[in-house]
């Protein structure tokens, strides 16, 4: 009997660990970490030169993590049937059967409520509102619109651009030009990033009924051209931070270097739009560009 109890206990522990791992995957951890780091960057930039309390820092980071994870969880709970149709998403927790759709809704809602409450009680009300708006827009505007219109990318870019602004507002307790520039930078950055993904997985997206390209029946060349234009806009916005840096010339040098690197990837995509490596180049450069630029901003303050 004792052996049987031990086995049952081990099985229960294994089941609990598998559930926790499934909930972790429900947050889309790689996406959540990348977006969360932009909140941390905004908090660092906004708090530079002042002493932020450990409680404020912890609450901002915890609350922002929860609201970002909530948006991703609710997104998966909403579109799990379509995720099951695509190879790249079929093994997500809900379509693979590791958790049920109602669990996804429950966990996502709980994370969102806890995150918003944390931000409201221990950071400030504007940041809590930004967190709630970003979750609601992502889960209940962008997610359903993906099935109806290519304009969904622009809608989704709004909640995607809020995190660095929220970090700044957490530190400054208010909005400023810098906060809006952080928003604009991350807003524009998302278009080349997501269009590269959309082109790479266009067949799977079409099979699942998602409208992710710039416009209906967009060609590789058209997608690449728009990605190039938005990359140029992103670079222009990045250079606008120079007047706020104590080492303006140093910031301009780094921002221009990173911008030229991103522009080179976008230009290669335009020159060879049908090559998979070209779209992957835009995707990889965009993933690295944003954190490297934020690091450079902090270094050159």
Same domain for 149 and 50, yes or no, is yes
* Structure confidence at residue 39 (pLDDT): 98
Average pLDDT along the chain, 301 residues, taken 10 residues at a time: 52 88 96 96 93 96 98 97 94 96 98 98 98 97 95 96 98 96 98 96 93 93 97 98 92 97 98 95 96 95 79
Same domain for 29 and 137, yes or no, is yes
Same domain for 143 and 264, yes or no, is no
Same domain for 107 and 70, yes or no, is yes
Q: Containing domain of residue 200, as a range?
A: 192-301
* Structure confidence at residue 9 (pLDDT): 66
Same domain for 166 and 266, yes or no, is no
* Structure confidence at residue 301 (pLDDT): 79
Same domain for 103 and 169, yes or no, is yes
CA distances from 31 to 27, 87, 153, 201, 216 (A): 8, 18, 16, 17, 26
* Structure confidence at residue 169 (pLDDT): 98
**Residue written as tokens 């989704």?**
156
Same domain for 107 and 211, yes or no, is no
125 in a structural domain: yes
Number of domains in the chain: 2
Same domain for 76 and 27, yes or no, is yes
């Amino acid at each position: 009997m004792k052996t049987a109890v031990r086995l049952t206990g081990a099985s229960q522990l294994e089941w609990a660990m598998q559930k926790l791992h499934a909930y972790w995957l429900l947050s889309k951890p790689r996406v959540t970490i990348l977006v969360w780091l932009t909140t941390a960057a905004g908090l660092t930039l906004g708090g530079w030169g002042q002493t932020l309390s450990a409680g404020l820092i912890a609450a901002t980071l915890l609350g922002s993590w929860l609201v970002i994870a909530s948006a991703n969880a609710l997104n998966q709970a909403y579109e799990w049937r379509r995720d099951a149709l695509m190879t790249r998403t079929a093994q997500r927790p809900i379509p693979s059967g590791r958790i049920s759709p109602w669990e996804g809704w429950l966990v996502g809602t709980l994370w969102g409520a806890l995150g918003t409450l944390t931000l409201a009680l221990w950071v400030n009300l504007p940041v809590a509102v930004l967190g709630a708006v970003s979750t609601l827009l992502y889960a209940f505007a962008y997610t359903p619109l993906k099935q109806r219109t290519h304009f969904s990318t622009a809608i989704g870019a709004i909640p995607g651009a809020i995190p660095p602004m929220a970090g700044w507002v957490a530190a400054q307790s208010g909005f400023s030009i810098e906060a809006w520039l952080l928003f604009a930078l991350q807003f524009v950055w998302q278009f080349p990033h997501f269009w590269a993904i959309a082109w790479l997985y266009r067949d799977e997206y079409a099979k699942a009924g998602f409208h992710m390209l710039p416009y209906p029946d967009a060609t590789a060349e058209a997608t690449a051209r728009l990605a190039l234009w938005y990359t140029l806009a992103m670079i222009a916005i990045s250079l606008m931070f120079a007047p706020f840096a104590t080492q303006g010339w140093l910031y301009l040098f780094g921002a221009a270097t990173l911008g030229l690197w991103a522009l080179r990837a976008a230009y290669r995509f335009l020159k060879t739009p049908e090559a998979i490596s070209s779209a992957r180049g835009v995707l990889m450069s965009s993933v690295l560009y944003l954190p490297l630029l934020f690091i450079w901003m902090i270094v050159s303050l």
